[in-house]
Amino acid sequence: MNIFDLLGSIFTEVGTPAPQPGVPSSPLLTSTPPPSSSKNLSDCHIKLREAYPLVVAEFEASHPGYTVKLDYTYRSPDLQLELYKKGRTFVNGQWIVTDKSQVVTDLLKGHHNVYPAQALDHYLVSGGQILWESPLYTDLGNVWVQHGFVSGAVWKYHWLDKPHVQIAYSLI
């Protein structure tokens, strides 16, 4: 009997699927990830699903006239690569930024690319207009940080990703 057979018998007794060789597992994985992407909160880690409505309500209560809308949650590695290519050219074996205004992500693989997603992107709307560059992302990011998350709007990284929020490793 190998380790996977042993684990299979143990997991069968408690009614959960056993790990499979070569297949990453997660105790929070309840279904198969979408084929390429999702903008659905149900495809996020439970901590994000629980915090999102609280953070949004807190932000919107203190910023009348502004609403927070959910954008990407899960992104497949293929979609992540397509987004990474925006604003870049492949030269001599590496990706070079050629148009900074077109860059939408700084990572080839990140918290959006696991399932359930450990990150989400959201955006602000006011007067029917999407506000990608509003200084209010700092306020929204600070609300996320107060709830224990990491916000791309306020992180100390060379490239701010204002719509991005991810789980702090301490919450996983």
Which parts of 15-168 fold into alpha helices (H)? 46-62, 77-85, 136-146
Query: Which run of H or of E encompasses 3?
Result: helix 3-14
Per-residue pLDDT at 31: 61
4 or 158: which leads in pLDDT:
158
Q: Identify the DSSP state of 75.
A: B
Return the number of other C-beta atoms located less than 10 Å from residue 55's C-beta.
Answer: 22
Residue 80: pLDDT over 60 = yes
Instruction: Say yes or no: domain 37-75+111-171 is CATH 3.40.50.300.
Output: no
pTM for the predicted model, two decimal places = 0.74
List pLDDT tens digits, range 24-51: 444 344 467 777 899 999 999 999 999 9
**DSSP-assigned letter for residue 98:** S
158 contact partners, CB below 8 Å, separation of at least 6: none
Paired tokens of 139: 């306020």
Q: Where are the domains of the chain?
A: 37-75+111-171
Contact 121/149 with Cβ under 8 angstroms?
no
Sign of torsion, CA 21 26 32 37? negative
